[in-house]
Amino acid sequence: MRVTDDQLEHWRTHGYVVVENFLSADEVDAALEEVAAYYPDWDEYAAHRPRYRHLGERGGGGARFPYQGGALSLISVHPDLIDFAERALGVRDVFLTQSGVSAKYAGTRDFDQPLHFDYGNNSLLVPRPEGRWHQTGTIIYLNGVDLDHGPTYVSPGSWRGADLHWSQQHPEWPTSRTQEEKPEYYERQLPVCAGPGAALLYSQNTLHRGSRFLADQGVRFAQHIVYRAAGNEWMGFTAFPRDGHDPAMATFMVSATPRQREAIGVPGPGHPYWTEETISGVAARYPGIDMKPYTLALEEAAG
C-alpha cells in the first residue's frame, strides 16, 4: 500500500505514522512462511523451551538481509517503501542500510526499554531533520501486535523544535531518557497496536521504545528496515557486499528489479559502470538474472 500524502505529512509533523495493511495478505503469508526458517512459532517454542533458550536470551534478533527464500528480502526493498523513502528524504537515490527480523517470545527477557532515538548506532553524527540529511525507520508487524504483546511506544512531536522533545540546535545526547529523568516524555507516549502487515514509519530522531510482554504466551515477529539518502556515508549499519557469497544474496539479485537492486548499492541501467564485459560478468555470477535493462541502456547510450 502506497503511503498517502496525508500519511507522509503526519510523519513529517509528528515523527511517525502507522500504515495499516502496508503489506498485502499474500505478502504477510509469504513473509511468515520464511520467518519459520529462522524462528519457531509459539507452540514449537513453548514445547521445547530449552532448545530455544538462545532466542530468549538475545531477543531473537539473528535474521537479517539477505534472507533465505527471498520474500523478506523483497519486502526490504518493497516498491512502496522505496517510494516513501524517496518522498520523505526528497531524493531519488535512497539506500537500504538495515533490514532484520526480530522475534519476541512471552515469558523470556524483559523487553521494556527507555524512550530513545535510534541514531546512536545508525550514524556517526547526530540527526539533521530535513530532507536528505535524515533517515527513515520502519517496523513491519508481521503477525500484528496488541497491548499484551510488547507494542512499540512512540512520543509524538519529537521531529522538530516545536515541543519539549527536540531542538534542532542541540540534538539530545545520550540517545535515551528514563522515566525518572524525563517524566514529561512518558506522559505523551502512545502504544502502536496494529494488525498483520502494518508498518510503523518513524525517524532517527523520534522518541520511541519497546515494551514488555504482558501476555504469558505468544510471539511477536517484526521486520526492522532503515533507509538513508545515497552518499551519506556517516550513516549505516550493514555492509551488504560481505554477503556476496551467500546464496540468499544470489536469490535476491535474480528476483529483484533493477530499481530494487539500486537500493542496496547496485548501479542502475545507464550508469558508467556498465560495459559489455561487466554485464556479461554479472550475468555469469548470477545465473538467471535479467540483464536486458542494462544492455538496452548501454545500446541507447552508444547510439
The domain ranges of the chain are: 5-229
CA neighbours closer than 13 Å in the CB half-sphere of residue 164: 9
| pTM of the complete model beyond 0.85 | yes
- Tell me: pLDDT of 90 over 80: yes
Measure the CA–CA gap between 165 and 171, rounded to whole angstroms: 10
Other Cβ atoms within 10 Å of 157 Cβ, number: 18
- Tell me: pLDDT of 53 over 80: yes
pLDDT of residue 167: 41
pLDDT of residue 168: 42
pLDDT 10s digits, 169-191: 445 678 888 999 888 889 999 99
Longest dimension (CA), the chain: 67
**Do 42 and 218 contact (CB within 8 A), yes or no?**
yes
Instruction: Phi first, then psi: give them for residue 64, nearest 5 degrees.
Output: -145, 165
Measure the CA–CA gap between 83 and 2, rounded to whole angstroms: 8
Nearest of 109, 105, 99, 89 to residue 42 by alpha carbon: 105
pLDDT 10s digits, 213-239: 999 999 999 999 999 999 999 999 999
CATH superfamily entry for domain 5-229: q2cbj1_9rhob like domain (2.60.120.620)
